[in-house]
Chains A and B, each alone.
Chain A
Amino acid sequence: MPNRPLLCLAALLGVAAGVSAQEKPQVFTGAQIIPISGAPIAHGVLIVAGGKIIAVGPVDKISLPVGAEIHDVTGKVLMPGLVDSHSHIGSGSGGDGSGPIQPEARVLDSLDARDASIQKARAGGITTVNVMPGSGHLISGQTLYLKLRTARTVDDLLIKLPDGTNAGGLKMANGTNSMRGANGFPGTRAKSAALVREEYIKAQEYRDKIKRAAGDAEKLPPRDLALEEIGEVLAGQRIVQNHTHRHDDILTVLRLSQEFGFKVVLHHVSEGWKVAPEIAAAHAPCSVIMIDSPGGKLETKDADWRTPAILEQAGVLVGFHTDDPICDSRRFLRSAALAVRAGMTRPGALAAVTIANAKILGLDDRVGSLEPGKDADFIVLSADPLSVYAHIEQTWVEGTKVFDLSRPADHLYAVGGAGAGDSRRAQLCCFTSAWDLIANANNGGEQ
């Protein structure tokens, strides 16, 4: 009972915040705009309202709405918010050590929306992210696609699909990470594939039983969370996001995907360069990781920075991911730049952190490029996005600024320092929390 007035207050404030962020059109003018969906615009204008993009184009060709709030971003670079197709921010979890196949485990039930890693991702310009369970299982659980809105709980971050469900994929893995050889975990690659095939066949039979029951409660099999989940994959409603490094493991994933007809994205693909034509022929997109040196484990000894370029040339849809904390979300653009260093085209590399990843997550109808009607997710940079000297100055999600480098608390998350590992302070819409007052006072002297 004592909670009630507070909850009501929060709800009211929430509504108020929503309205204030959306009522006035906002205009960002003067920046070089990289829309991704088309050629860069030297002096561009972006107009957003109601959390959506209204217009984007050259300064001299776009008329500004009356009463708009104008943001002069002359000299800056503006591009879509980054989409990270594989991350572990928010301290989430998936399956535990009890077995290799746990599709019923959900990141949803474990995510800390205030974890510092989420604020650091905002500082890195990431606005949409696929948060995955780990790779220590053949099937480790349901991933969660998030929008990095200012959030108090995981519910504030969710992406709702038209049917009301939460957007997400299914995390699978093969190769050595899931070969633990005890507790029912496989000890070999052949056993790994056999276990996955058995699970998918079970799910097919479960699906068929439900179909045959035709709604007759007597004939329906008992609910099975794991098989229901695989059923979504079989029905094409959920994309398999598959960790895989070695070229033979990549081919195994493609073989299973073909056998059961599921949509799959290949993640990491350290040896993708060895089987680029096969990946292209299977129309499997790749989400590549860029690590500062090869090795660290046997199956990544042949990892090569030229993989994105080779896959791109072969016609594969290529995205990048941070795998945060493996790569720092704040350096996500660096992955694209290193790929260009190793031969990828610049448009391909910029797409790989935006629209290609949006496609990889099945969200390209709403994010990944600056086009009218899409979500107003964008970042403002001090210089070219592929330059080491560029700083991400602002990150906007659905028309609301979620990161501003000029704010001391945000600056701390961007560069590090004492307190950068702490959770995001309580978020209330209309006033500064006591914590922020203290943090600002403490940092005031040196910022």
Chain B
Amino acid sequence: MKTITRLSLLVSSLIALGVGHAENIAVMGETVYTMAGEPLKAGVILISNGKIAAIGPKASINIPDGYRILKAVVVTPGLIDAHATVGLSGLLNQAQDQDMLEKSSAVQPELRALDAYNAKDPLVGWVRSYGVTTVNTGHAPAALISGQTMIVKTFGRTADEDVINPAAMTAVTLGRNGLTNTEGGPAASKSPGNRSKAVAMLRAELIKAQEYAKKRAAKDESKRPGRDLKVETLLRALTGVQPLLITANRQQDIISALRIAKEFNLKIVLDGCADAPMVLDQIKASGFSVIVHPTMQRSYEDMENLSVETAGKLHAAGIPIALQSSYEAYVPKTRVVLFEAAIAAAHGLSFEAALASITSGAATLLGIADRTGSLVPGKDADLALYDGDPFEYTSHCTGTIVGGMIFADGAH
């Protein structure tokens, strides 16, 4: 009976903490992984106005009066999930809380995550309770072009308050999972029905966007075409402003993605890449980054060849990587990047490289390294606090700080 009361109390305290506000905080960590240089022993981070004001060894930092003091065994930058659908694919998995895939057409780049993101979905709070402060979330990899992703902080307020990049990437899926005739694919479309058709459709859309751009530049205003949200989105990919996030797991799909990037001179980000170990040289030569599939993702169909060692192999080859929670149709409804990185750290990726894949490395990959991903004065006060090695199964996240706002309701 006691336990039941304790659990319900916990739930109410969670809600109360959700509406906190930024305060002056001093975080003291026995080990602080700044991800900008060597880890600090007995480090202190001063936080003011939601930003990191100072960081250094305890001896060098004077904690002003009135600062709230938090202590932890290990402090890391707030974790970054480089590709998720959290906030769009809700906890309940009922039609009313599943906004990660619109099935009326295979090509819908105009769909914005911003217009669907539910900052209050319990799974946003769930990933935050393990240290995640930033998520690149959006439309699921299950249509040729399913929509756009946004980069959002996990404050849990509203999409507009929490967003830091409303149009980060446009999600493209090659391979079986992007086909219309697969389970979960857009039912209203006949195409694409196979790989050749998928690539032909994608090329046709990109060519349309190129031609649209030319026509929009026409001197005679009356000859310019009307606005087209679909094409405008792809145009941002062509100009390098909003890269295509191309999910490709089979090696032939990875190669197709690279071929398309070359043809249209695109900057892309590769996603998934279960077969990456077979085409490491080609990925390396392309210079593109890879958001590697979750290490614990189930291996079937296009992901049949996935391995817990792939993240380590990509890193060893010098290819920039980040890890992700990806999309789950059933259970677990969301994965947690902390746990995915832990498995990578146990299978060939060094501790610091694994941590970088969900902090500094992910920030660089997502183009947000000026704001978050490392503990440096002037950056957002995004921190995760642990009572031991963050990757150990039996350690706990004892607090998460998002933009100076403390979320600490016990050990998670």
Contact = CB atoms under 8 A, between A and B. Distances in A.
Contacts of B299: 416, 420-421
Contact of B92 (A277, A293, A295): A295
B238 interface: no
A144 B240 CA distance: 57
Interface residues of A, number: 39
A416 B332 contact: no
Contact of B308 (A292, A295, A415, A419): A415
Contact of B307 (A298, A304, A334, A420): A420
Interface stretch (A76-84, A127-135, A179-187, A381-389): A381-389
Interface string B1-35: 10110010000000000000000000000000000
B4 A274 contact: yes
Contact of B309 (A273, A296, A340, A417): A417
A334 B393 contact: yes
Interface stretch (B175-183, B258-266, B284-292, B340-348): B340-348
A98 B83 CA distance: 41
A387 B393 contact: yes
Nearest to B330: A296
Contacts of B123: 293, 295
A388 B278 contact: no
B300 to A, nearest CB: 7
Contact of B305 (A277, A340, A341, A418): A418
Interface stretch (A16-24, A100-108, A210-218, A325-333): A325-333
A156 to B, nearest CB: 25
A416 B309 contact: yes
A295 B393 contact: no
A277 B1 contact: yes
Interface string B376-412: 0000000000000001111110000000000000000
A291 interface: yes
Interface string B163-175: 0000000000000
Contacts of B304: 420-421
B300 A421 contact: yes
Nearest to A295: B91
Nearest to B395: A341
Interface of B: 1, 3-4, 7, 90-94, 122-123, 126-127, 275, 277-278, 296, 298-300, 304-309, 328, 330-336, 339, 342-343, 345-347, 391-396
A421 B307 CA distance: 11
A316 B345 CA distance: 35
Contacts of B334: 292-293
A337 B332 contact: no
Contacts of B393: 334, 337-338, 340-341, 386-388
A197 interface: no
Given A291-B332, A296-B332, A328-B298, A388 B391 contact: yes
Contacts of A294: 91, 122, 126, 333
B342 A388 contact: yes
A310 interface: yes
B346 A416 contact: no
Contacts of B122: 294-295, 301
A205 to B, nearest CB: 40
Interface string A373-395: 00000000000001111010000
Given A295-B122, A417-B305, A273 B3 contact: yes
A328 B345 CA distance: 18
Nearest to A298: B92
Contacts of A297: 92-93, 330-331
Nearest to A311: B3
A252 interface: no
Nearest to A120: B299
A159 B277 CA distance: 40
Contacts of B1: 277
A273 B4 contact: yes
A388 B308 contact: no
Contacts of B308: 415-416
Question: Which residue, A277, A391, A418, has most C-beta atoms of chain B within 10 A?
Answer: A418
Interface in A398-446: 415-421
A306 interface: yes
A301 B339 contact: no
A94 B241 CA distance: 53
A310 B91 contact: no
A293 B335 contact: yes
B331 A276 contact: no
A91 interface: no
A300 interface: yes
A361 to B, nearest CB: 24
A204 interface: no
Nearest to A277: B1
Contacts of B333: 293-296
B232 to A, nearest CB: 35
Contacts of A292: 296, 332, 334-336, 339
Contacts of A296: 91, 93, 328, 330-333
A313 interface: yes
Contacts of B396: 341
Given A298-B94, A310-B3, A416 B307 contact: yes
A293 B343 CA distance: 17
Given A291-B331, A293-B333, A298-B92, 13 more contacts: A273-B7, A292-B332, A293-B123, A293-B126, A294-B91, A294-B122, A294-B126, A296-B331, A328-B296, A331-B343, A341-B393, A389-B345, A420-B305
A3 to B, nearest CB: 34
Contacts of B300: 421
Contacts of A295: 90-93, 122-123, 331, 333
Contacts of B347: 415
B316 to A, nearest CB: 12
Contacts of B91: 293-296, 301
Nearest to A416: B307
